[in-house]
Amino acid sequence: MRQGPTPPASAGAFPGRGISEVALRRAVAQFALTEREVEMLWGLLDGGTETAIASHAAISANTEHTHRRHLFEKLEVHTGPGLALRVFREMLAKGIPPCLGLSAGCPETGSAAVPKPDGREKESGGQAPPPGAAILGDAARRRIAASLRLTTRELELVRGVFNEQKRDAMAADMAVSISTIKTKMRHLFAKLGVRNRSGLMVRVFAELFALGIPPWASQPPECGRCRSGVADASVEGAGNVA
């Protein structure tokens, strides 16, 4: 039987994802969330299903749905992936590293090791980029592909997830069937050890911080792992098109 999400008080971090309770609470402090809403947020970002979250919290499905709706309203989002993006944006804007409080080597809030966006919200042509494109730049995607050994197709799926695309939109962009997208997404989730789109976003976001890469980066930074060649492989080198 699949286990429900682990509540903040008993874990301190998302299992295997390196995002701490301290970082999460600081990121959403201004939204005045209740303890139940924080627990709900924790469960959603950890990929918990409605049933699993309700079971773990010992509440009914209707009560879980009500807390979820209030949480979405407070953070002004409509979906789980949108919720994850909002949390990431808050962390970036405030310079909060996801590992805060987990280890002595984690930078403090506002440290130079947690670079902030430069404020440029529009790409060429003056058009505002999609939410995901604004938070996950081309260089960041290339590094993620190398670090997580993603194929070109898998990287396209990651981009689609960060842009909150539905399966039909992904299928149209990639010129494949919706059933193919479902299959590839299932394989990608298994590869990254996550359960759904929100879990995938948390996994990618934490990996970027572990690599020292600003998510919005259009040019890769110099870092020890990059110079060693661990993250220098091209997307094609990370795997063939699936």
Q: Is the pLDDT of residue 110 over 50?
A: no
Average pLDDT across the chain, whole number: 73
In this prediction, residue 214 carries a pLDDT of 65
Confidence grade of residue 174 (pLDDT, cut at 50, 70, 90)? very high
Q: Cα(219)–Cα(100) distance, rounded to whole angstroms?
A: 26
Q: For the ranges 3-12, 113-122, 158-167, which has the lowest average pLDDT? A: 3-12
Instruction: Answer yes or no: are the C-beta atoms of 150 and 192 closer than 8 Å.
Output: no
Average confidence (pLDDT) over 35-50: 86
The more confident residue out of 231 and 33 is: 33
> How many whole angstroms separate alpha carbon 242 and alpha carbon 27?
36
Cβ proximity of 189 and 199 under 8 Å: yes
**104 falls in which pLDDT band (50, 70, 90)?**
low
Domains along the chain? 1-114 (1.10.10.10), 117-242 (no CATH)
Alpha carbon 188 to chain centroid, angstroms:
14
